[in-house]
Structure 1
């Protein structure tokens, strides 16, 4: 299969296209044909060796939209997603008409934003939320989810 492989640590320039053997599923793993893979801050940090330094060579990529062998279109955390095939453990079936980029945004950024608002902040309807860096992936999702969860703008009267 074709994969973007890193033989040394660094920036995106260390990735090279390589022919490598198909990954072999272990217990609880499923092989998927990759439609799209996500690119997150953690991927970049891992590539440069700053976060969970990998054994070299390695194929980066931790999230994927793909197809299972029985044809289901799925979204999942993955191992080696910058390739034509990747291994996943707990895929979630997604609709055919959901764009891959939108689905991938839901996984890391969406789950992080949801966790921050629901578990950490314990947002309840009517509360106001300040989202720093709302132009980033997590911040963008947090603004949308806060609205969906009933957050409102605080309107203070001038006294």
Structure 2
């Protein structure tokens, strides 16, 4: 099953459910701490704040870290975005913030364009965030494609639905 179809199954759900599905799919889960592709110590679903080499956490602990980190990502989105967000766009942005951090999001052209009402241009900015450590990573390309799809979903879904009436 493709990630868009996997995430799409939850489009009637909440932003939290959409973001959790996206993040968990792309981050994967490693209960034992490891170094990510750019050398950051990471554990569970991409958690870095308290990760340390030698650490092994239970599935339950990983779930709690995911929930807390996603909550922080949603807070960053809600604190910085000044326009209304449909659940799909809010989920896309929370997944993005989960990956790049609140600071990078706060300084981004994406946020500036979104708050200026340039929704399509803002969502298209996601495609620029595919590099880590100076190298384009295929996993980030795929992740940004899904986040962009979610971000733009409410812009185009009514048009497509209207074609079938």
Alignment TM-score, normalising by the size of structure 2 = 0.28
Q: Which has the larger radius of gyration?
A: 1
Question: Which has a greater percent of strand?
Answer: 1
Alignment TM-score, normalising by the size of structure 1 = 0.28
